[in-house]
Chains A and B, each alone.
Chain A
Amino acid sequence: QVQLVESGGGLVKPGGSLRLSCSVSGFTFSDHFMSWIRQAPGKGLEWVSQTDNRGSHTDYADSVRGRFAISRDNARNSLNLQMNSLRPEDTGVYYCVRESISAGGWPAGGVDSWGQGTPVTVSS
């Protein structure tokens, strides 16, 4: 079955860095766009970054552009998020998510699988 397992979260001081990883299994990783989505404590869901299926096109929310970098290794079935210059407002749970491919007459797009999340706390 589809599995997405995040790691790398933790406590970091403002201005610090963290690297999140997501190991996937149960599907053909190289077929799918992938994203990171975060959730601040007690708040809703916020898209952070996306990569296409080859890693050749990436996109970022305005709030993280220039500080975060998404990457993927299709040979190792892994997705990464390098987070630099972290701020307290980056605190939250970070989810690795898969985006759907076209199937059954439905076009590609939208999140169809979630990891369990990894917590990030930015605090002095």
Chain B
Amino acid sequence: QPVLTQSSSASASLGSSVKLTCTLTSGHSRDIIAWHQQQPGEAPRYLMKVDDLGRYITETGVPDRFSGSGSGADRYLTISNVQSEDEADYYCAAWDRNTPVVFGGGTKLIVL
């Protein structure tokens, strides 16, 4: 099954940009992944899917400040013009024929 690695934390200043990384294990470097946001005390929210060619598709209603990209086994979530409400935990997720869904450990984004 795929294994996804995320940094435990990241920080960004208000109005700046930040790029979060999710790394897939070898053998799964071509997998599509999804990004989910979980604000404090809330349920997670699906943001987008990203493929190995760097294409991404966002959920309706997600601000266009959020974008995705990819390179090799890495998948990225970039947040431009970071806002205070972007302070949240961000999880990447993958799946395959044998594994309905597996999550990375999550990255806690702190907005300074």
Q: Which residues of A contact B (CB under 8 A)?
A: 33, 35, 37, 44-47, 50, 59, 93, 95, 99, 104, 106-107, 109-117
B101 touches which of A35, A93, A107, A115 (Cβ 8 Å): A35
Chain A residues lying within 8 Å of B103, measured Cβ to Cβ, are 44-47
Q: Mostly helix, strand, loop or mixed at chain B's interface?
A: strand
- Nearest chain-B residue to A37 (Cβ)? B101
Asked if B102 is at the interface of the complex by the 8 Å CB criterion, the answer is: yes
Chain B residues lying within 8 Å of A47, measured Cβ to Cβ, are 100-103
Chain A residues lying within 8 Å of B102, measured Cβ to Cβ, are 47
- Nearest chain-B residue to A4 (Cβ)? B43
Could you pull out 25 A-B pairs where Cβ atoms are within 8 angstroms?
A: A33-B100, A35-B100, A44-B105, A44-B106, A45-B91, A47-B101, A50-B101, A93-B43, A104-B57, A106-B49, A107-B32, A110-B49, A110-B93, A110-B94, A110-B95, A111-B34, A111-B36, A112-B34, A112-B59, A114-B43, A114-B45, A114-B46, A115-B43, A116-B43, A117-B43
0 or 1 for each of B37-65: is its CB under 8 Å from A? (1 = yes): 00000011110010100000101000000
